[in-house]
Structure 1
Amino acid sequence: MTEGADALGKSQPAVSRTMALLEERIGTPLFEPGRRPLRPTELGSHLARLGARIRAQNQEASRLVQRYRQGQAGALRLGGTPIFFDGVVANIMAEFQSRHPDVQIAHTYGYFDELSASVRSGALDLAFVPLHARMISSDMHFTPLLTGRNVIACGATHPLARRSVITLADIEPYSWISPPTDSPLFRDLQRAVKSIGLDDFKVSFSGGTLASIFSVVVGSDALTVLPYSVVFSHQRTIPIQALPLRIEHPERQLGLLTSADRTPPPSLPRFVAFVTEKFKQLNARMEHEQQVTRRRG
């Protein structure tokens, strides 16, 4: 009784009273009469095994509740634009889940109109979107992560890949890989080629996923426009690089869109803090590479 009381954090008399009440309730003794030290009856042994399992499950439930309140367990519903999410966010999300395996994440693709509507209705907890400042309504909260910056990308074996200076005449003979026509990146492509003097351009591949765009870029001489963060994040594992040609950048930022009117699940602030820190580190690495490139130039 004394050892049991210590294990439960209770006094020995309190445990003895509880046992006596239990015996009275079930109408039969739980310990063999007159035996010292105490020896449980057959029923007492069975109840002890069941009680141990119940206590373990109760403790597990208590830990789960505590982890949920601390944002270390639960479920998150995320949305994001395909190229940015697959190119940058997915790896960060994987690292978050490796540290917080009890947080379940469900993801859907979309663009601003549908994603913002889903955040507003509560169907999504958070969306990764490119935004102009004027697009943020009073019922939304936006956490900027990256300033929009696009580059012209090509495969590492492309004829232009080794050149330090590239002109419009160098670009003109090559075809282009186009993102889906309903994506912001497609409009960026149109704006970019126009900004460097191309009024018309040939599209050899369009509408694919980021994986298929990478495959076509690497396996052909086609060019494409991608966020610099996507190229930077994959250039060590995929033979792709940005060309040294300045193009017009979109006047927007990439960031996190959440509802200002809804109480978030406890895991969301933890996720937002993690993602924000990871993007700070990504920004620092990209800035360092740009400084190194400028010095080499």
Structure 2
Amino acid sequence: MKLDSDHLEILAVIVEKGGLTEGAEALGKSQPSVSRTIAFLQDRVGMPLFEPGRRPLRPTELGQSLARIGAQIRSLNQEASQLLTRYRAGHAGRLRIGGTPIFMDGVISTMVADFQAHEPDVQIDQSYGYLDELLTQLRNGALDLAIAPLSPSMTPKDMEFTPVLAGRNVVACRASHPLIRRGAITMDDIRPYQWISPPENSPLYLDLQLALRSIGQENFRVNFSGGSLASILSVLVGSDSLTVLPYSVVFMSRKTMGIDALPVKIEHPARRLGIIRPKDRSGPPSAAQFASFLTSELARLQARMDHEQQVTRRRG
């Protein structure tokens, strides 16, 4: 025998409130319609649900058991309704993001943690990739959004790119490096030191070559290459080696990892870190929520870095 779940919910409220009139008011229904529902349900089960002649209403053993099930159904329906409301508002659901490894580990991961502190019901699945791979995954629906450095003028026509962070690289080293306390640094000062090279298939590897050419360092010795950001930073803080990293990564890691940037001017790439999304697909509501949060956080980071640069110039 199949019972109408709505009828069981109504029974539960009547039992909870202690009467047909009170139950009807709680449900926002008329008392006659609630009475008809209970009469129909009682006919359906073929046994009384309330003890006759008792005021206030007292459920029978069967009525109490069915009311208990009705209360569970009502609670689950309310939970489902709340979940739907939160999902539509971007406060719940699953979000798939991808990005370039150095930026994701050095900058974005901290912001993901901050986002989930505010939005604990949003599950984030993160993956790594470089631009071509990320674009492919966005097009085939494997990603909802990507965070990567891109020249705004080179944005594919089927993508929407929101630039949020300037593309600025620096020569990074450990905070206690011998060159840190020097004033003007020359090529002769830099030449004796070896370099840590990012993975050769990464945009940052091309940035390293560009940066070194811009300061006249055509030939450079590499003592460590590839690896994750964590391994690059570990080698950096444990040696006198140098490397080229995005300033945002150095800025975010300097206090926890003990690294710093040398006062050496190098050429910067014509790219900006930003959020890439397909134009023809909005993705889950949480994608817009996360993109808005990330844009705000990266803008705040940019302001902090700009402020520090201004303070450094005044001191210089």
Q: Quick check: 1:3 aligned with 2:22?
A: yes
TM-score by structure 1 length?
0.98
Q: Quick check: 1:202 aligned with 2:221?
A: yes
Q: For residue 233 of structure 1, what is the amino acid of its counterpart? A: M
Counterpart CA distance in 2 for 1:256 and 1:49 is 49
Counterpart CA distance in 2 for 1:249 and 1:56 is 57
CA apart distance, 1:3 = 2.5
Counterpart CA distance in 1 for 2:28 and 2:235 is 66
Counterpart CA distance in 2 for 1:163 and 1:235 is 19
- Give the match's secondary structure for 1:106: strand
**Counterpart in 2 of 1:244?**
263
**Counterpart in 1 of 2:305?**
286
- Give the match's secondary structure for 2:180: coil
**Counterpart in 2 of 1:47?**
66
**Counterpart in 1 of 2:151?**
132
**Counterpart in 2 of 1:69?**
88
CA apart distance, 1:242 = 0.4
- Give the match's secondary structure for 2:196: strand
Per-residue deviation, residues 81-126 of structure 1 (Å, max 9, x unmatched): 0001111011111111111111111111000111011111111111
The 5-angstrom pairing of residues 64-213 of structure 1 reads 64-213=83-232
Counterpart CA distance in 1 for 2:286 and 2:152 is 27
- Give the match's secondary structure for 1:236: helix
Counterpart CA distance in 2 for 1:128 and 1:263 is 16
1:12 aligned residue (31, 53, 75): 31
Runs of 4+ in 1 over 3 A off after TM superposition: none
Q: For residue 202 of structure 1, what is the amino acid of its counterpart? A: R
CA apart distance, 1:157 = 1.1
Counterpart CA distance in 2 for 1:132 and 1:255 is 9
CA apart distance, 1:172 = 0.5
Per-residue deviation, residues 9-58 of structure 1 (Å, max 9, x unmatched): 22333222211111011111100112222111110010111111110000
Q: Quick check: 1:31 aligned with 2:53?
A: no
Taking only aligned residues, the RMSD between alpha carbons, in angstroms, comes to 1.0
Per-residue deviation, residues 215-260 of structure 1 (Å, max 9, x unmatched): 1111100001000000011112221000000001001111111100
Per-residue deviation, residues 64-96 of structure 1 (Å, max 9, x unmatched): 111111111111111100001111011111111
- Give the match's secondary structure for 1:237: helix
Counterpart CA distance in 2 for 1:130 and 1:263 is 21
Q: Quick check: 1:272 aligned with 2:291?
A: yes
CA apart distance, 1:130 = 1.1
- Give the match's secondary structure for 1:152: strand
CA apart distance, 1:136 = 1.0
Deviates most, 58-67 or 259-268: 259-268
**Counterpart in 1 of 2:6?**
none
CA apart distance, 1:161 = 1.4
Mapped contact 2:152–2:163 kept (Cα < 8 A): no
Counterpart CA distance in 2 for 1:246 and 1:60 is 57
CA apart distance, 1:138 = 1.2
Mapped contact 2:152–2:161 kept (Cα < 8 A): no
CA apart distance, 1:286 = 0.4
- Give the match's secondary structure for 1:280: helix
**Counterpart in 2 of 1:295?**
314
Percent identical pairs in the alignment equals: 63
Mapped contact 2:174–2:260 kept (Cα < 8 A): yes
- Give the match's secondary structure for 1:235: helix
CA apart distance, 1:192 = 0.8
Q: For residue 34 of structure 1, what is the amino acid of its counterpart? A: G
RCO (CA 8 Å, sep 6+): is it higher in 1 or 2? 1
